[in-house]
Amino acid sequence: MNTIALHTVETHFREQIAAACESGEVPGFVAGVHHAGEQIIVAHGTANLATGAPMLEDTGFLFGSVTKVLTTTLVMRQVERGRIGLDSPVVAHLPEFALAVPDAADKILVRHLLSHTNGIDADLYFPDAKGRDALKAYVDGLASGCGTLFEPGERLSYSNGGMIVAGRLLEVVTGLPFADLLARDVYAPVGMKDSSTSAEQAILRSTAVGHFPDPETGLLRPTNMFTLPETWGPAGGTPIGTVADLLAFGRTHLAGGVAPSGTRVLSAESVALMRQVSYDMDSPNVPPMGLGWVLYPFGDTTVLAMSGASPGGVSLLCVVPEHDLVFAAFGNTPGALMLQDRLLCRLLTDHLGVALPTLVTGVREDVDLTPYVGTYRSDQLRIDVSIVDGQLEERTTYEPADESQERIFTEFAGGTTSAPPQRYVPIRPGLFAPAGYPMEVFDGYLRLLLVSFHDVRDGRARYRNAGGRLTRRT
């Protein structure tokens, strides 16, 4: 892609983003591309419907789970310094770490935290603590309330809990609060000059807030909760910044660990290790996992990616090493992921010439549905799967552990925790697509909408995977 082509990208982005904002798909959206020394950033719409503040090129937003790659980068810096061992048990560095299952934490290695293969069953665990001991409070709570989904290294399941434990591990090893360490060892050397970790800091500049559809009117309304609790900082609860900041971070990984300023943030060896496959479930809906990065195969091209949900918003960071390209975006409603997927796929196909293979060819009528029927559970979540009219039907129930958990999750979900039953059609044994979607939707980032079932024994699947997260048959 040359400068002329990048100008074409900018024109296309402006048209697509403006159309999405003006149609009501999303209130505001900002996206940027860096390629071969050239960079564009495009913004349109409204950052906050309550105030009418515009979405600008330098408007800040919550990184959400994109933070997990920043947290991994912090851990790798300490690995390089010999203060953390990737293959050391977490308890060797963090003796306080324990789970509700006796001795289960002792088997978890630092590597398992970063590769989402730790098995910690805490994806919806939201302790509400603030200040210097917030992450300590999170880890302390795991011992009494959270068990395991599988043996460490045995499977892959997207793990908020693993990243938060990694954040607490960093605090103990360095003696610094996570927010201070992030500012010192990532924000500053990378040149993320507009990034912060609190609402108090974000309010001093232009910052977007999330939005949800109002259940009564259907119209979008601003979120009632800006950030998740401070206990979720390393998993994506609190870091805030701009598209330019994320592009700078992506460029650092594109350049083998050297920031745009010329400062070395990571060794080339650490950057390469983060890109290596740590676990592959060999299922289209679950891309291979590196350390921190999800390794999306788009044909023969690998896209290092992480998306980040925040209350009423979603961010996305993609690094494409083969094409010297970084893409970052944020939209302030959960449905913005659809626009991000369209822009990414168009960027790959039209401007990089990447051929996207067809992942889902059509519905299979000959698949036996009975092995997948049953009840699946993970932390505070229940999925009941049945057969209705020749399709799988899933009913999701949130089962809060206490009033505080219910309050936080309800706000994070936009005021409601119930959803209508969802039907799925079989694509092949063990793999299902949500009914009513065109099959080509799943060729891009939205392959995460597919649902898979795993480890069928005696005619019954033991695990269900949706969005990279496992639930276990009960």
Active site residue 65: yes
Measured in whole angstroms, the distance separating CA 444 from the mean position of its chain's CA atoms is 16
Catalytic-labelled residue, pool 65, 206, 278, 307? 65
Cα separation of 369 and 397, whole Å? Answer: 21
The residues assigned a catalytic role are: 65
